[in-house]
Amino acid sequence: MSRMIKIKKGLDIPLVGKASDRIENGTATTLFAITPDDFPGYTWKAAVKAGEDVLCGSPLLFAKEEPALCLTSPVSGKVAEINRGERRKIMFISVESDGKDKQIEINKSTDKASLKDALLKSGLFAMMRQRPFDIVPMVGESPRDIFVTSFDTAPLAPEMLTGRSLDTLEAGLKALSTLTEGKVYLSVSKNSGITSDIAEVVEFEGPHPAGNVGTQIAAIAPVNKGETVWTLDAVTALRIGLLATSGQLDYTTQVALTGSEFKDPHKVETRIGASLSTLLKGQLKNGEGKIRVISGNVLTGVMVNSQNGFLRYPYRQITAIPEGDDADEFMGWASMKPSKFSVKRTFPAFLTGLSKPFNFDARIKGGHRAMILSGEYDKVFPMDIYPEYLIKAIMAKDIEKMEQLGIYEVAPEDFALPEFVDTSKIELQKIVREGLDYLRKETL
């Protein structure tokens, strides 16, 4: 029988634009790209040249610090572009698909060494994350435990395992169990019906961020100084299971088109790194106002260009909301309209109910100011950490204080909700990312 954990602190943000169950085939997309910035912790170098032929699973980039660790092509075809930014930093490498999906040969994995080699070669290793530091795992380390999450509670997030084989998931969990001497934990939503003979299944109930792996780790077995755990979602575990049992690579993904600016929010079957110009063609509303397109959810996603952008990690959701820069309303952000969402009791929406869908835009509704120690972060932050004091320690670059206040447990996404409700409009996720990078640089 699985363990049950109820998360009490948090907030479900009711956005307009939930995707229907209709699934559209995205095979018209022919251009795909891998973005190194989605895989923190390493310096990525190009392994190919423009115009070079590649197979599905061929390395496009390799880690300077660990050449065996690769980021691979999701399709077979020809390298279209190696896009570079300032100081020749690689922004993305794109591949024009030939539609044949020929893949590299990878043998079935029967032991720890062969499995790790296959994960490195296939690019699946880079799809996992390590805590502390929220980076791609260090290749030479063995994790204390591995945490797999099978559900997402972020705004408008789709179901993760719809139409997926639970037998393949079990094979993935079995493969992961060979990589650690500790436990493999599988987090599931309440009454999901998912079971496992390999992993310890833990049910979660409650508002967002109950689906965040950081919240789950804190509730199950927190990370202490000197310990390392690996995290991944169930879709990546499925890919690992398929690779371990058959040697086959699966870079397909089901993406939900969500948000108020889609004509018909639904799901699309495509591949990792798909070009948005094809994927979103004819999907967005033709309103007068500008539209913000986000690869991911509104809390932690990355703003992308709908004409020349690509589907970013973790490749499960695209959100479109109004920019709001053309909004013209009495009193601006302080407007008392009932249609304005707010968690504060000073606005009418708190009285009429916060469960109905609201039409959000991208405005921050207020100005930047000094941090106010009002306890507002604590109301939506379920981890046993003092978030305001941790943020202040990070800003002061006080390593000893950061360690005492629990920085080894957190990732930027854990501060997405506090950032949303923050009266001071501070970029908390950016601060946490910079703090983790600074701590890693100074202590390793």
pLDDT, one tens digit per residue, over 163-185 is 778 999 999 999 999 999 999 99
- Statement: residue 288 has pLDDT above 60: no
Straight-line distance from the first to the last Cα atom of the chain, in angstroms, rounded to the nearest whole number: 40
Q: Does residue 251 contact residue 272 with C-beta atoms inside 8 Å?
A: yes
The pLDDT > 70 percentage for the chain reads 93
* Mean per-residue pLDDT of the chain: 92
pLDDT of residue 352: 62
Q: Give mean pLDDT, residues 153-169.
A: 91
Q: Does residue 217 contact residue 147 with C-beta atoms inside 8 Å?
A: yes
Among 101, 75, 124, 94, residue whose Cα is nearest residue 33: 94
| Residue 215, both tokens | 């919240």
pLDDT bin (cut points 50, 70, 90) of residue 12 is: very high
Indicate the helix (H) or strand (E) that contains 4. Answer: strand 3-6
pLDDT of residue 178: 95
Question: Crossing angle for the helix pair 387-396 and 428-443, nearest 10 degrees?
Answer: 60
- Statement: residue 2 has pLDDT above 80: no
Residues with Cβ within 8 Å of residue 125, at least 6 apart in sequence: 69, 116, 119, 136, 137, 139
Q: Does residue 184 contact residue 145 with C-beta atoms inside 8 Å?
A: yes
Query: How buried is 16 (Cβ within 10 angstroms: 0-12 exposed, 13-18 middle, 19+ buried)?
Result: middle
Distance between CA atoms of residues 289 and 270, nearest Å: 29
pLDDT digits (tens, 9 = 90+) for 326-351: 766 666 666 666 667 777 777 666 66
